[in-house]
Amino acid sequence: MIVDSHAHYDDEQFDTDRDDVIRGIQQQGVIRVVNPASNLNSARKCIELSKKFDILYCAVGIHPHDAKEFSDEAVNIIREMALNDKVVAVGETGLDYHYDFSPREMQKQNFAAHIRLARELKLPLIIHDREAHGDILDIIKAEKGYEAGGVFHCFSGSVEYAKTVLDMGFYISLGGAVTFKNAKKPVEVAKYVPLDRLLVETDSPYMAPVPHRGKRNHSGYLTEIIQKIAEIRSDDFDVIAEATAFNADRLFGLGL
């Protein structure tokens, strides 16, 4: 049993063969996927897909890249969409200071509004944090984001940062980076995170793990990531697969 806590099947890279891919991953043992939205259009698409495929659940929100789209009206639309049964989280949201595709002030406002919404709706947050640790923590503290809880996806910080995030009650999700040859911090973090606070993800179609690096990613490749984490922790594949599946179920409520 494998649960992918973060994949984007609404992405246009799946437009030609989406149904086949989603059927295929089920044959590879994937029993649930959480599909976070990137913006309002993507959120609508995610909800449609989650109605079509039993294994697919979704999060609604505006990615920091698309924070330009943020407005009070947008928050109202997200609130409305969150009423759907298959919506299990708010996101993905956060800050991305690596690409800076949206002005930082907009990203901060967008993130703060998503935290307030998650608290109001009692849904967990899916947080994207790229080179923005300080501001992420400041905004979480100011808006009491720890009351909503959630996950730091594609965690890229140090063990010290992991400790800070875990102390606030968040889960940590690891993806393809843990398999990369030059991986140092993700490997240390994979060893450090308590087994009951760890999630795994592909971030498909991005971030394909070794030996598929550079290809379009899909949830079937999660086996490479779980295998690598199992090696790092000197544990069995099944132990990691099962624990991360139950953790995702505990956080999101995926009916397992």
Enumerate binding residues for Ni ion (CB under 5 A): 203
Q: Which is nearer to Ni ion, 10 or 143 (CB)?
A: 10
Q: How far is the CB of 43 from Ni ion (least distance, A)?
A: 13
CA pair distance 245, 256, nearest whole angstrom: 9
Q: DSSP secondary-structure letter at 219?
A: G
Is 172 or 238 the residue whose CB approaches Ni ion more closely? Answer: 172
Cβ proximity to Ni ion: between 110 and 160 the closer is 110
What b/e string do you get for 130-141 counting C-beta neighbours within 10 Å, with b at 16 or more?
A: bebbebbbebbe
In the complex, minimum distance from the CB of residue 238 to Ni ion, in angstroms, rounded to a whole number: 26
Q: For Ni ion, which is the closer residue by CB, 179 or 204? A: 204
Provide the minimum distance between the beta carbon of 204 and Ni ion in the complex, in angstroms, as a whole number. Answer: 9
Residue 252 to residue 205: CA distance in whole angstroms: 22
Residue nearest to Ni ion (CB): 203
> Strand runs (DSSP E) across the chain, as ranges?
2-4, 30-36, 56-60, 87-96, 125-130, 150-152, 171-174, 198-200
Query: Is the CB of 9 or the CB of 161 nearer to Ni ion?
Result: 9
**Shortest gap between Cβ of 244 and Ni ion (angstroms)?**
17
Smallest gap from residue 234 Cβ to Ni ion (A): 29
Kindly write down the DSSP assignment for every residue of 57-107, as one continuous string. Answer: EEEE---GGGGGG--HHHHHHHHHHTTSTTEEEEEEEEEETTT--S-HHHH
Nearest residue to 130 via CA among 94, 159, 103, 102:
94
Beta bridge pairs of residue 95 = 129
Q: Are the C-beta atoms of 139 and 115 separated by less than 8 Å? A: yes
Smallest distance from Ni ion to CB 235, Å: 26
Least Cβ distance, residue 213 to Ni ion (angstroms): 17
CA proximity to 226, closest of 193, 178, 185 = 178
**Cα(167)–Cα(146) distance, rounded to whole angstroms?**
10
**Cα(189)–Cα(137) distance, integer angstroms:** 18
Is the CB of 38 or the CB of 247 nearer to Ni ion? 38
Of 195 and 214, the one with the shorter C-beta distance to Ni ion is 214
